[in-house]
Structure 1
Amino acid sequence: MWRKSLFYSIFCLFFMQAQAIQLLIPMDDSQRNHLKSYGIAYWVLQHNVEVKWLLNYRGGSFLMQHYPEFENECVVRGVTFEAITDAQASAILNEIARPEVNQDAVSMNKAPKIAVYTPPNKLPWDDAVTLVLTYAEIEYDKIYDEEILEGKLKDYDWLHLHHEDFTGQFGKFWRTYQHMPWYQQDVSINQALAEKLGFLKVSEMKEMVTREMDKYVLNGGFMFAMCAATDTYDIARAAAGVDICGPMFDGDPADPDAQEKLDFSHTFAFHNFKLEMDPNIYEFSDIDATNTRKVVRENDYFTLFEFSAKW
């Protein structure tokens, strides 16, 4: 009798293991909503459940332990998912682990705390980053110069920069938009904030903000910049202590020797760039190759290569 009981127990154990399921969120063309899928992964991490990011596997899919609540949330958010057995999940991970396969499985265990650097007067449709994060249902905080200079960056794992002009030239929109209410409001808000924080010029405030961001990155924080933030950040770092702003921006002339005084040892990504000092030209420097790369659209090609997940 005990042998039958033992056999039955072993059979039940194997049956339960075979039926245990994982939740796979594919990120290839089968996925109905890619942005919401990232939100699901973030939401699961908030519930202290490990998520495996399967790099280069079906578009970078997500794999996690199955719970009814997770499946229901996918249904509510319109996210495509597949319930697979533990055996199927193990087969996927074993395939990914093969040294000749350029795929990898990254274990994620913590939902990062995200800050988006954006001014308080920014309208929702002005900032693609906040639009995407809001749609994906990924939590984030909005911070600006005052919060950064108060030392609050240390509370975040990830900092995102978008449209910001860190040179103090207000996006170099002066020639075209100087009479527009939104431009005048942006200038007034930044000037008032600089005065409140004890700076004579907006450019001086922005330069100090970039110093704090430097410290944040050096201490292990992740920072991602796009649009105007990519080049104006390094320009502000190289121009620390140098006046590169014309009188329409800060009330006095720019230093005529500003170019020669740039210190590229402070920059993150760019060096040896040449400033565009003309306030009537909508460029900050030759980092932006829009006006120098003379290639017609029909002849302008680039090649995408597979992400190097493993090698």
Structure 2
Amino acid sequence: MSGRVVHTRTGGPTGLDLYDRTARDAAATVIAHYSTSFGLACRLLGPRPRPHVRSIYALVRVADEVVDGPAAAAGLSPEATARVLDDLESETLAAIGRGFSANLVVHSFARTAQECGIGEDLIRPFFASMRTDLSTNRHDPASHDAYVYGSAEVVGLMCLQVFVNAGAEHPRTPSAALVDGARRLGAAFQDVNFLRDREHDSSALGRDYLGLDEGRSTRGEVLDRIDADLAAAAAAVPLLPADCRRAVTAAHDLFAELSARLRTASASAERVRVPDAVKVRLAARAWLGLPPRGARA
């Protein structure tokens, strides 16, 4: 059918248009099953950026799952798992070049990358960090920062490319202030997750991302860094396009709430969570257009 759109008797699309839509639906399904909190925030995005952000997070989630257990549970050796991750990276980059993949999640991401200007400079560091999880269990400050950049900050930068460029005729470069805000929000998210998952990471995976086990840092120091990153990110939210601010505010405030709860929880407490009622309140606050917590009025 040469990529042209053909319509069925009921008026629905077929061909590449149907394939694109099915790929976007597949990405949305991945997110719905893996992250209720992210799904809630994503619904606050406008229709212009929403499917693209889902496509980014679906690919990120699949890659993360490759290295975090399901592949090993399926019987893959570490070497075989590494090859699966390498193949996923290669297919992602190839799909961006040709505009098609037989892997629906990769296809959805590739179409987003083409439209919004997401290139190898962001994709390769992400896969490099995922690959690190197969070989490095203990991180020093330098390896922590490199890991956080590739696993979280570049994801924020991918989303920023969407916020600025989705629907535009030609991709443009975001401002330095937005780039800094996206990176610091991603870093805060990742460090919160490291603290929340510390017990599981240590006991089940043998990983220490923050140097807490070896005394190189303390919970208080990590939380101070998180709160500084959240404050910097909050300052950048008003610079975002209007159809992105509510979702970013909701995500920001959810992690600010987690940071506050981590400060009052003991290190040995069960995984800290935000009750659903509080999540709804934070989402409602964002929907009303209120600024992120900690932002200056």
What TM-score do you get using the length of structure 2 for normalisation? 0.31
More strand by share: 1
Greater radius of gyration (CA): 1
Higher relative contact order (CA 8 A, sep 6+): 2
